Amino acid sequence: MNQKNLTGRIYYWLLLGYFSILPMSQTIALRNSLLFALVFLFLVDILLFRKRNKLIGINYFRHIPLIFLLWIGYLIVFPFLAIQGDVAWVNLRGQWFQSILAFVVGSGAVMLLGKRGPGLWALSFASSFPIVVHLILVILAWIGFFGINFPPYMPISEAWLTIAKTTRALLVNGWNTSDFPWGFWGIEPLHTNLGYAACQSIALYGVCF
């Protein structure tokens, strides 16, 4: 496998990983790491294969709706015009800057991968990852890994510590299932996070089938 194909395969799996954890809470550091890694790979590919990407880039950018380019330009210029410039700069460095990087990552997927990029099945599996994690946590709660009286929401760190603490006792005393934990949100503080991932995966799976 040459360096170009290796870069494309790494980009492929990092993109799916980023897509899979995007709706999950408490994954900001991991999401940002994957996002910057994808941007870095895109820039490396442009520098290493400049001639090829120049031709692909010209054809690709011709099809970008002008409204997207105007929106990015507006986000960059707005802090200079805003009454509360300091607040605008904070927002640009935060959420809006991430949205611009996500646009770059999407462009990189088209230019680097093209038709070799993730298909609908791959995107469906990735989008259902938060639901799979949630179902695993629900089963663990059902068989007693989180004790009897556990809150509807548990941060990732608390969930891991609780599992590690109760595993030894459960191995000695055995598993005692309780009532099915309806309403258990797992690591999500808002049930809407699970609803978003579920609706997205259902839509993609529906198209696939």
How is the chain split into domains, by residue range?
Answer: 3-117, 129-208
Q: Is 153 helix (H, G, I), strand (E, B) or coil?
A: strand
Placement of tokens 């989008």 in the chain: 127
Rounded to whole angstroms, the Cα distance separating 96 from 77 reads 12
Whole-prediction pTM: 0.77
Per-residue pLDDT in tens (0 to 9) along the chain, 209 residues: 555 678 888 999 999 999 999 888 888 889 889 999 999 988 888 777 666 656 565 566 666 777 778 888 887 887 777 777 777 787 777 778 888 888 888 888 888 887 888 889 999 999 999 999 999 988 888 887 777 777 888 888 788 777 777 776 666 666 666 778 888 888 888 888 888 889 989 999 999 99
- Of 7, 24, 209, which is closest to residue 126 (Cα–Cα)? 24
Rounded to whole angstroms, the Cα distance separating 209 from 200 reads 14
